[in-house]
Amino acid sequence: LFLDNQHRMIAHETLFTGTINHTQVHPREVVKAGLKHNCAAVIVAHCHPSGEAE
């Protein structure tokens, strides 16, 4: 989620997807997307499709 300086969402984007047990995240791609959207803040989220966080 990309936010403006008043913490309102200005864009959302799925940057990475993976398999059932692995994904690879490149911080430079997160920063590049933030610059593209000219945002003031970023919220990063992920999920565990198996339901287990281990």
Q: What is the pLDDT of residue 5?
A: 97
Asked if residue 19 is part of any domain, the answer here is: yes
Asked if residue 50 belongs to a domain, the reply is no
pTM above 0.85, yes or no: no
Question: Within a domain: residue 34?
Answer: yes
Is 53 within the bounds of a domain? no
Please name every residue paired with 3 in a beta bridge, in sequence order, or none if there are none: 9, 41
What is the residue range of 36's domain?
2-42
Please check whether residue 27 is in contact with residue 13, taking contact to mean a CB–CB distance below 8 angstroms: no
pLDDT, tens digit (0-9, with 9 covering 90-100), for 15-38: 988 887 778 889 999 999 999 999
Total domains in the fold of the chain: 1
Q: Does residue 16 belong to any structural domain of this protein?
A: yes
Main-chain phi, psi angles of 41, to 5 degrees: -150, 160
Looking at residue 44, its pLDDT comes to 93
Q: Which tokens sit at 11?
A: 């864009």
Cβ burial of 5 (10 Å; 0-12, 13-18, 19+) is: exposed
Note whether residue 31 is domain-resident: yes
